[in-house]
A and B are shown apart, each in its own frame.
Chain A
Amino acid sequence: MTLLETRALSRRFGGVHAVQNLDLVVGEGEVLGLIGPNGAGKTTLFNLLAGADSPDGGHIYLEGRDITRWPSWKRARAGIIRTFQHGRTFANLSVTDNLLVGAHTKGGKADLDALLEPFGDRLKPRADQPAFLFSYANRRRIEIARALAARPRILLLDEPTAGMNPVETLEILEFLKGLKAKGQTMIVIEHKLPLILPLADRVMVLDHGSLLAEAAPLDISRDPRVIEAYLGNRHV
Chain B
Amino acid sequence: MFPNPYLLQVLTNGWILALFAVSLTLVAGTTGILSLGHAGLMALGAYTSGLLTLRLGWPFEAAFLAAGLVAAVLGTLLASPALRLKGHYLSIATLALGEIVNQAILNADPLTGGAMGLAGIPVPSLFGWAVNTTSGYYWLTLAVLAVGVTVVAFVIRSPLGRTLRALREDETAATALGVRPVPYRALAFAIAGFFAGWAGALSAHLYSYISHETFNSPLSILGLTMVIAGGLGNVGGAVLGAVGLSALPEVLRPVAEFRPLVYGLLLLIALRWRPQGALGAV
Contact = CB atoms under 8 A, between A and B. Distances in A.
Nearest to B233: A92
B180 interface: yes
A225 to B, nearest CB: 33
A97 interface: yes
Contacts of B174: 90, 101, 104
Interface string A39-66: 0000000000010100000000000000
Given A52-B172, A88-B170, A92-B169, A146 B177 contact: yes
A223 to B, nearest CB: 33
A100 B14 CA distance: 37
Contacts of B179: 73, 101, 104
A93 B175 contact: no
Interface string A10-35: 00000000000000000000000000
B172 A91 contact: no
A169 interface: no
Interface in A121-161: 146-147, 150
Contacts of A100: 159, 162
B163 interface: yes
B176 A76 contact: yes
Contacts, number: 71
B177 A101 contact: yes
B180 to A, nearest CB: 5
A82 interface: yes
Contacts of B175: 52, 71-73, 76
B176 A82 contact: yes
Nearest to A107: B159
Contact of B166 (A71, A82, A101, A150): A101
B177 A104 contact: yes
Given A88-B170, A91-B169, A101 B162 contact: yes
B165 interface: yes
A108 B178 CA distance: 11
Interface residues of A, number: 26
Interface residues of B, number: 18
Given A88-B170, A90-B169, A93-B169, A76 B177 contact: yes
B104 interface: no
A150 B178 contact: yes
Interface in B115-157: none
B166 to A, nearest CB: 4
Contacts of B162: 93, 97, 100-101, 108
Interface in A63-89: 71-73, 76-77, 81-82, 84, 88-89
Nearest to A131: B169
A166 B101 CA distance: 60
B173 interface: yes
A81 B176 contact: yes
Contact of B176 (A50, A91, A93, A97): A50
B177 A81 contact: yes
A209 interface: no
28 contacts: A52-B172, A71-B175, A71-B180, A72-B175, A73-B176, A73-B178, A76-B175, A81-B177, A84-B172, A84-B173, A84-B176, A88-B173, A90-B165, A90-B169, A90-B170, A90-B173, A91-B169, A93-B162, A93-B169, A97-B162, A101-B177, A102-B177, A104-B174, A104-B178, A105-B178, A108-B163, A147-B177, A150-B177
Nearest 8 pairs of A and B residues by beta carbon: A76-B178, A90-B169, A105-B178, A88-B173, A101-B166, A108-B159, A73-B180, A77-B178
